[in-house]
Homo-oligomer: A and B are copies of this chain.
């Protein structure tokens, strides 16, 4: 099955279980609203690509890991959009959850999606509880404190920001989770996969900075100029557009060079190149990235 169909089928199944029984109807509706239709599903796609590159000997567990990761990402979007953070009216081209449902239901939607992520992994443990525990530990580490996306968002409440810790936690953490969980689901060690995830995360951050600076709200389906508005660090403001483009290519070259030796190594390099093309804001798209020596 194509990766995107694997992901959507597994997502739909997870959300349906959260909506079962005597669930309160509006919160049940908000769960589905928050995760479908999804964005590019980049993180679960990377996760499944790594799992496949490592043999994917337990596809049910890989699917659960992909779903869990996307649920955490979706939860973070719902909470980041809240009035006390970005106060965003629009997400993925439609009203944000708190606009469509209410602020209480948006808080509860985020909370429920976080819990659902861990529940999905526990339910998929079957006869590989050791792998499920490793996946739960890896996901929690990249989600909470002191180094997950909660920590990343927390840095925005500090008077002085540790920029490297901020970027690694805010954007990098879930990409590191993607590569490491892909490996863990297939029974491999997590550690050798950290650098690939970190580099993809850095690239994604620079690409996001470029889009925030260069694209229209219509093109993105969410407000632009948010970094300038909230005085957040941004690669375009620091390096200029050409400088940020050069940095993006360097990072992607490093990402390809960091791929651990595995049966699907070449396939993964192609995946990074595909993302490189998609990351570039339309008019700036350039030739494929080569691995740095």
Q: Is A73 an interface residue (CB 8 A)?
A: no
Chain A contacts to B: CB under 8 angstroms: 17-28, 31, 75, 79, 82, 84-85, 101-105, 107-108, 110-112, 114-116, 118-119, 121-123, 125, 129-130, 132-134, 136-137, 140-141, 143-148, 150-151, 153-158, 162, 165, 169
Taking a contact as CB atoms under 8 Å apart, the answer to whether A136 and B122 are in contact is yes
Closest to A166 in B: B24
- Name A's interface SS: helix
Q: A158: which B residues are within 8 A, CB to CB?
A: 24-26
Closest to A125 in B: B133
Q: How far is the CB of A280 from chain B (nearest CB, A)?
A: 31
Taking a contact as CB atoms under 8 Å apart, the answer to whether A116 and B129 are in contact is no
Q: A24 with B154: in contact, given A125-B133, A133-B132, A144-B112 (CB under 8 Å)? A: yes
Cβ 8 A contact of A102, one of B26, B75, B132, B157: B157
Q: A145 with B112: in contact, given A133-B122, A157-B24 (CB under 8 Å)? A: yes
Extra 12 A-B pairs, beta carbons < 8 Å, given A20-B146, A125-B129? A22-B146, A23-B145, A79-B107, A79-B111, A105-B157, A108-B150, A108-B153, A110-B111, A119-B141, A122-B140, A123-B137, A129-B133
CA separation between A129 and B155, bound complex, in Å?
34
Between-chain CB contacts (< 8 Å), 29 pairs: A19-B146, A23-B145, A24-B165, A26-B157, A26-B158, A27-B157, A28-B154, A75-B111, A79-B107, A84-B102, A84-B104, A102-B157, A105-B157, A108-B153, A108-B157, A111-B150, A112-B154, A115-B140, A115-B143, A115-B148, A116-B144, A116-B145, A118-B118, A118-B140, A119-B144, A122-B140, A125-B137, A129-B132, A132-B133
CA separation between A179 and B111, bound complex, in Å?
23
CA separation between A18 and B147, bound complex, in Å?
9
Q: A111: which B residues are within 8 A, CB to CB?
A: 75, 79, 110-111, 114, 144, 150
Q: A137: which B residues are within 8 A, CB to CB?
A: 119, 122-123, 125
Closest to A136 in B: B122
CA separation between A122 and B121, bound complex, in Å?
11
Q: How far is the CB of A197 from chain B (nearest CB, A)?
A: 17
Taking a contact as CB atoms under 8 Å apart, the answer to whether A85 and B104 are in contact is yes
